[in-house]
Amino acid sequence: MDITFKYRDTIISTPNLEKKLKRMGISLDDIEILPNQEKKTEDNSKEFKTLRLKSNIDNLTHITYWSPNTPLPTIEELVKERGWLWNPETKTGLWTKDYINTLYYDL
């Protein structure tokens, strides 16, 4: 995994930070290490389908995307994977378990 850092307004990625700093003639004090970011590669061969989630209790349609090359997840799996389950401790997420139980795929 590459380490990404900033040096004089330039962002640099390297698999071996120690070696890179030595080659550049600088130290750790001269740089700012940036958080790891997953590199996203564009793959034009992938298509994504629109998934519509509806609830039995309201007229809202929730839209997300799904790759047809993978099996369609259950709604519970989808919600967990996307981080949509409400967590009362951290106060993050979108939906409670009760609301999730009312959702269905509108295919």
- 70-101 pLDDT, tens digit per residue, is 888 899 888 888 888 888 888 888 889 999 99
Taking a C-beta distance cutoff of 8 angstroms, is the pair 6, 34 a contact? yes
Per the structure, the complete domain to which residue 21 belongs is given by 3-33
Give the pLDDT score at 103.
92
Does pTM top 0.85 for this prediction? no
Does residue 42 fall inside a structural domain?
Answer: no
Say how many domains are in the chain: 2
Strand 32-33 and strand 49-55: the pairing is unpaired
Query: 60 and 95: one domain?
Result: yes
What per-residue string of b and e applies to 21-43 under the rule 16 or more CB within 10 Å gives b? beeeeeeeeebeeeeeeeeeeee
Asked whether 61 and 52 are in contact (CB, 8 A), the reply is yes
Residue 38 is assigned to a structural domain of this protein: no
Q: Are residue 61 and residue 29 in the same domain, yes or no?
A: no
Residues 54 and 90 in one domain: yes
In a domain, 75, yes or no: yes
State pLDDT tens for residues 37-48.
655 555 554 688
Asked if pLDDT for residue 27 goes beyond 60, the answer is yes
Q: Is 53 exposed, middle or buried (0-12, 13-18, 19+ CB in 10 A)?
A: buried
